[in-house]
Amino acid sequence: MRILIVLVFLFVGGTAHAQGLPWAMGNAKGWFVATKLDAAGNKLIITCDAAAQERAAILYLPKIPVWGSGQLEVSLGLDGTVVPAGAWQIFQGGVAAKDYASVVDLVEKIRDAFLIDVHLANQPGATFDNFGFAEVSRGLAQACGR
């Protein structure tokens, strides 16, 4: 069920971006996902799962996949101020931050930004507008207690 929700919002996100709508979101009992796309088709996804245990992730899935395994250093540009986001795990053609405390900290920092730039070590990055993030914050709080 959770995988289906994520997949649906990966596809719906493309339609939302084309229409200029805010983050595409979905939730179920203890589960939340929000997806944002940029003009090039890169995806930024925030998920949490509080049903079984506290799990959260921020995923960046670039249009051109990230190859390899292991970890990749990521920085976030929040309104032009670069914030180190740590080493994210290379995951299915993208990168993911999965440490719960780190994800919560990054989401709090993202909340106040108008533009989010994702910078990968030795990879092209992407820029996402943050229109509609207030709804994401509310959805995370309702589904996952944050």
What pLDDT, in 10s, does the model give residues 58-72? 999 999 999 889 999
Spell out the SS3 assignment of the chain. Answer: CHHHHHHHHHHHHHHHHHCCCCCEEEEECCEEEEEEECCCCCEEEEEEECCCCCEEEEEEECCCCCCCCCEEEEEEEECCEEEEEEEEEEECCEEEECCHHHHHHHHHHHHCCCEEEEEECCEEEEEEECCCHHHHHHHHHHHHCC
Say which residue the tokens 């053609």 belong to.
Answer: 93
The pLDDT of residue 21: 56
For 24-33, 67-76, 107-116, 124-133, which range has the lowest pLDDT when averaged over its residues?
24-33
The pLDDT of residue 16: 43
CA angle 85, 87, 68 (to 5 degrees): 135
Confidence of residue 18 (pLDDT cuts 50, 70, 90): very low
Stretch 105-109: mean pLDDT:
88
Confidence of residue 49 (pLDDT cuts 50, 70, 90): confident
Among candidates 104, 96, 102, which has minimal Cα distance to 60? 96
Domain 2-144's class?
Answer: mainly beta
Domain ranges (residues) in the chain: 2-144
The pLDDT of residue 78: 93
The pLDDT of residue 146: 52
Write down the pTM of the prediction.
0.80
Among candidates 51, 9, 57, which has minimal Cα distance to 145? 51
Using CA atoms, how far apart are residues 24 and 132, in angstroms rounded to an integer? 9
For 15-24, 59-68, 87-96, 125-134, which range has the lowest pLDDT when averaged over its residues?
15-24
Confidence of residue 52 (pLDDT cuts 50, 70, 90): low
For 14-18, 47-51, 71-75, 115-119, which range has the lowest pLDDT when averaged over its residues?
14-18
